[in-house]
Structure 1
Amino acid sequence: MDKPFIFFDLGQTLIDEWNYVSYFDNLLFMTLNDYGARIDHRNYIALRNNLILERKFGSSGFMELVSLMARLTLPIGYDITINERLKDDLLKNKRKLVNLFKDVQEIIPQLSKDFSLGIISNNSSGSANLLIQHGLDKYFEIVCLSENIGIRKPDHKIFQKALVESKSNINDCIMVGDRLDIDILPANELGMMTIRTLDSLYKIQTPLNENEYPKFTIGSVNELPLLLSSFI
């Protein structure tokens, strides 16, 4: 009998981005004020969180958030200037500041004994290289990165590609991710079991419709083995 398949998101699911989020927020906050935004830190966080809650911040990563925040706080055209000013700095420091969440190095080999594992992510190959650096890439049979295939979540096609490659019954496939809008929603629509992790910037999201409700919710990925033990 084939093993059930678990597909993981990367950023803020397997990869701890909290240090980068702090760096990003501080840099963008200071830069906006350098250009005359006159926004205090409390209101900066409120604006950023509102973009997440209202789903204004899509699937294009943190640089999209740079542009959105600039448009909200500065005159027309500054978003392009600030984006150009910050993009190299943010890319360089993201590589330095992200790492795997605690216990991922133990959890992945443990899960691979009873489940086949895969990745479905909008993150770049740079983020995926963390798995290689820690010797975990050998446990993942399928890796679908939007950078490589030209399709981004929540498009069903990136999920369908992974599902076809897995040769698994949809009922035996699980999606683990932190975002309701681009992880949980499309996976539910396709009939996968869904597990949401909350150790993420997107933990403030609330379901907008019944398809955004995950089957299970866990505080972080280190709770996954215990949850899945009932499926073995």
Structure 2
Amino acid sequence: MWYDKLMLNIIDTVIFDLDQTLLDKTQSLVNFANYQYEQYSLDKFIPDRNEFIVKFSELNHMIMPKEEVYRKLIEFFKIDWNLYHELLADLNHKFHLYCVGYDGLREMLRTLKREGYKLGIVTNGRDFYQRNKISALGIHGYFTDIVTSGSVNIKKPDHAIFQIALKHLKSIGRCTVFVGDSIQADIIPAKELGMFTILKTKDASSMLPDAICDDLMEIPNIIKSIGSN
């Protein structure tokens, strides 16, 4: 059976990125920024709540340590430095409580699981931080394997982190679909390893992935379509 799948290139594995693919990072950051603004009475330093939310979100979308994010926030808004460690610890321990997934997340995963696909996640980020998000979304049980850059000290787009996931899932590139939101970190390396790719985006202009969609509920049918070609 395994040999037959290889010969027919039957797709039996789906691997996902996490942030901005399954997890709505943009809305999650807004939720948490709102919470911290109120919890720590940041209006004393920043009268405009929206200004804080926008800056907090902007910095957290950049690739930088969370320690640096809060240093920049404190310097930019002239927040009391005594709050630095408390704000940072609060993020580490509570951010996941404000995380939300995209519409259709669990239903899409249930469909794929029911149809027999092996499911995995490959995500950049600190291990405890990413796993807390996954657990908070209530989706941990759908995945056979979860690989975080923090747990293996390898970051996307390095091929090695994708290869670790394939090994754990007992799959190979040409029998796998990778779903992610980044051309550079997700789509290019996955394609270089022989995987089929789906880009999670509203922008339909890219020709590089095998498919593009912004609705998670479309993914099961897209995978069937890819597998039938």
User: Normalised by the shorter chain, which TM-score bucket?
Assistant: 0.5 to 0.7
Q: 1:28 to 1:153 in 2, by over 3 A?
A: farther
Gaps of 5+ in 2: none
What is the deviation of 1:150? 2.8
The answer to whether the 8 A contact 2:97-2:136 is kept is no
Distance 1:68 1:191 in 2: 40
What is the deviation of 1:106? 1.5
Q: 1:231 to 1:187 in 2, by over 3 A?
A: closer
Which of 58, 64, 71 aligns to 2:63? It is 58
Aligned to 1:93: 94
What is the deviation of 1:124? 2.3
Confirm or deny that 1:22 pairs with 2:30.
Answer: yes
- CA deviation digits over 1:146-197, x for unaligned, max 9? 2332323233221111122333231222211123332223223333222121
What is the correspondence of 1:142-157 to structure 2 with a 5 Å cutoff?
A: 142-157=145-160
Give identity over the alignment, percent: 25
What is the deviation of 1:118? 1.1
What is the deviation of 1:120? 0.8
Which of 126, 132, 137 aligns to 2:132? It is 126
Confirm or deny that 1:214 pairs with 2:214.
Answer: no
Distance 1:51 1:109 in 2: 30
Aligned to 1:223: 218
The answer to whether the 8 A contact 2:199-2:209 is kept is yes
What is the correspondence of 1:8-47 to structure 2 with a 5 Å cutoff?
A: 8-25=16-33, 45=54
Q: Where do 4+ consecutive residues of structure 1 move more than 6 Å?
A: 27-31, 33-40
Aligned to 1:182: 185
Aligned to 1:191: 194
Q: 1:190 to 1:70 in 2, by over 3 A?
A: farther
- How high is the TM-score relative to the length of structure 2? 0.67
Distance 1:92 1:178 in 2: 26
Distance 2:167 2:174 in 1: 13
What is the deviation of 1:128? 2.7
- CA deviation digits over 1:124-151, x for unaligned, max 9? 22123246x45x51x3222212233232
Distance 2:166 2:153 in 1: 17
- Classify the secondary structure of the residue corresponding to 1:151: coil
The answer to whether the 8 A contact 2:16-2:179 is kept is yes
Aligned to 2:161: 158
The answer to whether the 8 A contact 2:121-2:147 is kept is yes
Distance 1:129 1:170 in 2: 27
Distance 1:50 1:145 in 2: 21
- Classify the secondary structure of the residue corresponding to 1:99: coil
Q: Residue 229 of structure 1 aligns to which amino acid in structure 2? A: K
Distance 1:98 1:83 in 2: 22
Provide the aligned C-alpha RMSD in A. 4.1
What is the deviation of 1:8? 0.7
How many residues align? The count is: 212
